[in-house]
Amino acid sequence: MGLALMAVIWLITLASTYFFAAKTWWLPVGAAEAAQFIDGQFALTFVLMGIVFLAAQLSLGYIVWRYREQPSSPPVLYSHGNTKLEIIWTVLTTILFIGLNLMGSRVWASQRFDQAGPGAVQVEVTGMQFAWYFRYPGPDGKYGATSPKLMDPSAGGEAAVGLNTSDPAAKDDVVTGTMYLPVNREVDLSLRAVDVIHSFFVPSLRFKQDAVPGLNIQMHFKPTVIGEYEIACAELCGLGHYKMHGMVHVVSQADFDKWLAAREAEKQ
């Protein structure tokens, strides 16, 4: 029985290690400036944790087999632990986790606490059950006022985000259900939610941030590859959570300008 259990433990361990080493299930190709660093730390974390996982599981399988019950087995000896070893692996674990945290905090914090650079594209993202809406401030660079009393999600567009059309700054605001961004240009994003907590998640852009009712969360990132990328809600937000998705179209600056001009023309 000990030999069979060891074989099962080692088989599961080696098979799962193969799937990760072969990148059978892996991240989509990164299409943002921060993707290289995030993917590098992701891989480093998996390597370090994989070494610990392999060592622990292979040792477990060996111990199960080595100390299996046999007719010639000596009486059982109980151990109350080894304080020195426990201190060593606790300290090593602490160093590992704190070190990985410090490595990743620079990129994570810079996207959330540093100011976006000059010339960044402003986009406001509003999450509500069960859709995403995107607002661009237009040529004046100012968002028009919004009000919860004016919100009508069933109407879509400007009414969905509660845009006050009597506000002069709102005259050139563009509200759409699809996000367009110019490539290689920083995006200054304002994230908010109307009803419950949502999570704006774009795997290819390595971007995930909760949208919390009552908060306006500022973040910035830079898409670097032209393409279409899926948006998902990564926070369970109700019965329609499964259908709360959208698309990000990363296009050239010229195509972005044409798209934005066309949307503004529709408002005339």
CATH of the domain at 233: 2.60.40.420
On whether both 60 and 150 belong to a single domain, the answer is: no
Is the residue at 75 inside a domain?
no
Q: Give the gyration radius of the chain's Cα atoms.
A: 26
Q: Which run of H or of E encompasses 179?
A: strand 179-182
Which pLDDT score is estimated for 268?
Answer: 67
Is the residue at 73 inside a domain?
no
On whether both 39 and 157 belong to a single domain, the answer is: no
Q: How many CB atoms lie within 10 A of CB 41?
A: 14
On whether both 9 and 93 belong to a single domain, the answer is: yes
On whether both 141 and 108 belong to a single domain, the answer is: no
On whether both 16 and 56 belong to a single domain, the answer is: yes
Q: How many CB atoms lie within 10 A of CB 235?
A: 19
Instruction: Determine how β-strand 179-182 pairs with β-strand 174-176.
Output: unpaired
On whether both 165 and 260 belong to a single domain, the answer is: yes
On whether both 255 and 232 belong to a single domain, the answer is: yes
On whether both 173 and 231 belong to a single domain, the answer is: yes
Which pLDDT score is estimated for 71?
Answer: 80
Is the residue at 13 inside a domain?
yes
Is the residue at 76 inside a domain?
no
pLDDT by 10s per residue, the chain, length 268: 667 777 888 888 888 888 777 777 778 889 999 998 988 888 888 888 888 888 888 888 888 878 777 787 778 777 788 889 899 989 999 998 899 888 888 888 888 888 888 889 999 999 999 999 999 998 888 898 988 888 888 777 888 899 998 888 888 899 999 999 999 999 999 999 999 999 999 999 999 999 999 999 999 999 999 999 999 999 999 999 999 999 999 999 999 999 999 988 877 6
Which pLDDT score is estimated for 73?
Answer: 76
Domains of the chain: total = 2
On whether both 249 and 129 belong to a single domain, the answer is: yes
Which pLDDT score is estimated for 2?
Answer: 62
Helices (H), the chain: 2-21, 35-66, 83-113, 157-161, 253-267
On whether both 91 and 149 belong to a single domain, the answer is: no
Residue 44 sits in which domain range?
A: 2-68+82-113
Q: What residues form DSSP beta bridges with 250? A: 181, 227
Is the residue at 74 inside a domain?
no
Contact predicate 86/121, CB 8 Å: no
Q: What is the pTM of this model?
A: 0.80
CA distance from start to end of the chain: 79
Which pLDDT score is estimated for 184?
Answer: 94
DSSP 85-128: HHHHHHHHHHHHHHHHHHHHHHHHHHHHHSPPPTTPEEEEEEEE
Is the residue at 171 inside a domain?
yes
Which pLDDT score is estimated for 157?
Answer: 82
Q: What residues form DSSP beta bridges with 131? A: 128
Distance CA 171, CA 182 (A): 23
On whether both 134 and 214 belong to a single domain, the answer is: yes
On whether both 153 and 250 belong to a single domain, the answer is: yes
Contact predicate 198/211, CB 8 Å: yes
